[in-house]
A = this chain, B = another copy of it.
Amino acid sequence: MPGSNLNEPRVLRDPVHGYIHITSPVIWRLLDTPEFQRLRRIRQLGGVFQVYHTAEHSRFSHSLGVYEIVRRMTEEVPDIGGSLSRQEKLVVLCAALLHDVGHGPYSHSFERLSHCSHEQMTMRLILENTDIHTVLAEADPSLPAQVAAVIQGTCPNPLLCDLISSQLDADRMDYLLRDAYETGTSYGTFDLERILRCLRVKNGRLCIKESGMHSVEDYIMARYHMYWQVYLHPVARAYEVMLQLFFDRYSEVRSQLKIDLLENVFRLSELTCFLELDDYRLVTGLQQASVSDDRILADLADRLLNRRLFDWIEEPDPSQEFQIRQRLEQAGLPTLFYLREDVSGSKVYLPYHEDRAQIRVLCADGEVRNLSHQSAIVSALDTMKPSVSRRLYFPKEAGLCLQNEAAGGKND
């Protein structure tokens, strides 16, 4: 009986949404799969907790939040509810819940090592031999493929993809609100209630009613600010850069010095290895590395565990870089593992250039137009030149006269 309702909907208390309402037994059973429970052990914001100390929340909470927003979209927005069949509603709810299930710890760093994107891994966890697959297939044999199609963006009905993955999707909406709540910043707040009220479906695609345009402008600014103030904060980047350096070192020495807990990282293509790897195993691996015999590996691990983070220079000029290299050499710290350039570009952050897709505005005259055509604000943002932030990271002891007091520091 696919998607049949629970006798009594169950609820989970949630600080962002008040309650998460679980109305379908399929969703209920998905929650209880080991693959989904594993998301409790993956932090949502990687190294951000090094600068915002309360950013300790997991992808589990975020996934529930995305599910809840999509549930509200399908139940409370008449246009969306009316455009979807009962089966499509179940499909999109499952996709919302599962969209991040393929994330490993510090995903972006690990994708580099494992040559395996989290999107691919999500597909495999839905389509291959997992408890998630079993729960979906038992409800309806076609469900796994349908859910995967929504997450991959290949669903025949593009509206389903719009809800999960577009410029105005439930994923972004939840993470902005949740990350703002958990960090204690106000940047990520915007008026979710108003946006939900103003969503419409026109020509089968998600639009925003013209009168909701200001709320969408506010949401776009929230994204812009969260990128610069939280996601790309140089201290958070320091942690991730150092993690890359640590694994570069470990790759080099692992033939002699095996740390079992870290070996999963090199076998992420095996599902069981992937499922075992979470923040907990990784950090415990760092602990073991910190008492290992390799001086460099042990040092980098200790820095990561005990927050002895690298310092950085913004937009270094060649002479500065030269000086830092010299000092590292004098200190016996090989630049291969103690110096790293990190580039964060506006391609990544600029809310609006991010995707090919535009936000559609349903105008009072019944026409659909692009947001950047309608909104003077967004159009003005479009004129911003893509900017790039290039930073050089290195241990404090190699520092010049420190320009960044915040470096050794904390958030501000």
Interface residues of A (CB under 8 A from B): 10-16, 18-19, 22, 31-34, 37, 40-41, 49, 52-54, 56-58, 60-61, 64, 181-187, 189-191, 193, 197, 211, 214, 217-218, 221, 224-225, 228-229, 261, 276, 279-281, 283-284, 287, 305-308, 364, 376-377, 379-381, 383-385, 387, 403, 406, 409-412
Which chain B residue has the least Cβ–Cβ distance from A261? Answer: B284
Q: Which chain B residues border A211 with CB–CB below 8 Å? A: 406, 412
Asked whether, in the complex, the Cβ of B190 is within 8 Å of the Cβ of A305, the reply is: no
Asked whether, in the complex, the Cβ of B385 is within 8 Å of the Cβ of A381, the reply is: no
Name the residue on B nearest A378 (C-beta). Answer: B380
Which of B37, B64, B380 has a CB less than 8 Å from the CB of A307? B37
Q: CA–CA, A227 to B52, complex, Å?
A: 28
A56 touching B61 by the CB < 8 A rule? yes
Of B186, B189, B376, which is within 8 A of A385 by CB? B376
Q: How far is the CA of A181 from the CA of B53 in the complex (A)?
A: 15
Which 10 A-B residue pairs are closest in the complex by CB-CB distance?
Answer: A15-B184, A380-B380, A284-B284, A280-B283, A34-B306, A280-B280, A12-B410, A376-B384, A281-B284, A37-B306
B15 and A183 contacting across the interface, CB-CB below 8 Å: yes
Q: Considering the chains assembled together, what is the distance between the CA atoms of A225 and B189 in angstroms?
A: 14
- Across the interface, A280 reaches (CB within 8 A) one of B33, B190, B284, namely B284
- Find chain B residues with CB under 8 A from A364 CB: 403
10 sampled A-B residue pairs with Cβ under 8 A: A11-B411, A13-B411, A14-B54, A15-B181, A56-B56, A187-B191, A187-B214, A224-B377, A379-B384, A380-B383
Q: Is the CB of A381 within 8 A of B387?
A: no
CA of A224 to CA of B215, assembled, Å = 12
Give the contacting residue for A12; candidates B53, B214, B307, B377; CB below 8 A: B53
A191 near B183 with CB under 8 A, answer: no
Q: Decide yes or no: A53 and B49 within 8 Å by CB, A280-B283, A409-B10 being known contacts.
A: no
Nearest CB to that of A64 among chain B residues?
B53
State A287–B32 Cα separation when bound (angstroms): 17
Residues of B within 8 A of A411 (CB): 11-13
Distance in Å: Cβ of A234 to nearest Cβ of chain B: 11
Q: Is the CB of B34 within 8 A of A40?
A: no
Q: How far is the CA of A11 from the CA of B51 in the complex (A)?
A: 11
B186 touches A15 (CB 8 A): no
Which residues of B are found within 8 Å of A52, using beta-carbon distances?
13
* Cβ contacts under 8 Å, A224 to chain B: 377
A403 to B56, CA, bound (A): 35
CB of A218 within 8 A of CB of B214, answer no
Asked whether B53 lies within 8 Å of A61 as measured between CB atoms, the reply is: yes
* A19, A56, A183, A411: residue with the most chain B Cβ atoms closer than 10 Å: A56
A281: chain B residues within 8 A (beta carbon): 284, 287
Question: How many angstroms from the CA of A384 to the CA of B406 in the assembled complex?
Answer: 35
Q: Which chain B residues lie closer than 8 Å to A214 at the CB level?
A: 187, 225, 228-229
Complex-state Cα separation, A383 to B377, whole angstroms: 10
Query: Which residues of chain B come closer than 8 Å to A61, judged between CB atoms?
Result: 53-54, 56
Extra A-B contacts (9), CB below 8 Å, given A15-B181, A54-B57: A13-B184, A14-B53, A15-B183, A37-B306, A53-B60, A187-B214, A221-B377, A376-B384, A380-B384
A95 to chain B: closest CB distance in Å?
20
Minimum C-beta distance from A264 to chain B (A): 10
Name the one of B56, B182, B384 contacting A377, with C-beta atoms under 8 angstroms: B384
Contact B305 A34 (CB under 8 A): yes
A377 to B220, CA, bound (A): 12
Contact: A11 with B412, CB < 8 Å? Answer: yes
A10 near B412: Cβ-Cβ < 8 Å: yes
Which of B193, B308, B409 contacts A19 (CB under 8 A)? Answer: B193
